[in-house]
Amino acid sequence: MTTPAKPTILILCTGNSCRSHIGEGILREALGSLANVHSAGSHPAGYVHPLAIKVMAEIGIDISAHCSKHMNDFLAQPITTVITVCGNADQACPVFPGQLNRHHWPFFDPAKATGSDEDILQCFRTVRDEMRRVFEAYAAGLRDAK
C-alpha cells in the first residue's frame, strides 16, 4: 500500500512580499512535516519585505531565505488547498490542479502602513499576530483530522 502524498498548501496575496510569507512561515512551523506549504503572488514584488522578516524572527520563525514567486509557477503542481490573504489575490486566483479546498482570509497589508517607523513596525506585528491566531487554529484542525 502506498502512502498518500503530503497535501500542498499555497498561500496567495498580490505582491508575495508580506502577508503570504508570514502565513507560509507560521503554517510551515505549525504543521511541520504534515504538509508542504508555499506562498506566491498574482503580481510578485520580487522581494520579501524586511519588516516581515524582522517580525517573524521576533517569534522565532526565519523567513529570510524566502523569495517572491508568481502563482503561475504552481499551476503544474497538485495544490490541495489555496488560501488567499488579500482581496486582489482572491479575485485573480485560478483553480489549481488537484485543488480540493479554498479559503479566503483577508488581512490588512502592513506594507501600506503609515506613520513613524515604530508605528509601521507595530502594524507588521499586529498583522503577524492576527495571522498567527488564524493559521495556528487552522493547523490545529488539520492535525486533529489526521
Per-residue model confidence as pLDDT tens digits over 76-126: 888 999 999 987 766 767 777 677 888 999 999 999 999 999 999 999 999
What's the pLDDT score for residue 96?
Answer: 75
| The predicted structure's pLDDT at residue 115 | 97
Place of cell 520563525: 61
Band of residue 1 on the pLDDT scale cut at 50, 70, 90: very low
- Model confidence at 145, pLDDT cuts 50, 70, 90, reads confident
Closest CA to 80 of 6, 7, 4, 3: 7
Give the pLDDT score at 4. 56
Distance between CA atoms of residues 92 and 71, nearest Å? 10
pLDDT at 2: 46
CB 121, CB 54: distance < 8 Å:
yes
Q: How far is CA 142 from CA 66, 74, 81, 96, 137, in A?
A: 24, 22, 12, 20, 9
Q: How far apart are CA 71 and CA 93, in angstroms?
A: 8
Q: How far apart are the first and last CA of the chain?
A: 18
pTM confidence score: 0.92
The CATH classification number of 8-145 equals 3.40.50.2300
Do the Cβ atoms of 67 and 48 come closer than 8 Å? yes
Q: Assess whether 86 carries a catalytic annotation.
A: yes
Count of C-beta atoms within a 10 Å radius of residue 58: 11
The whole-number average pLDDT for the span 135-143 is 93
| Active-site pick, 18, 67, 93, 123 | 93
Is residue 9 over pLDDT 70?
yes
Query: Whole-angstrom Cα distance, residue 50 to residue 21?
Result: 11
Residue 68: pLDDT over 60:
yes
Average pLDDT over residues 11-21: 94
What pLDDT score was predicted for residue 128?
98
Average pLDDT, the chain: 91
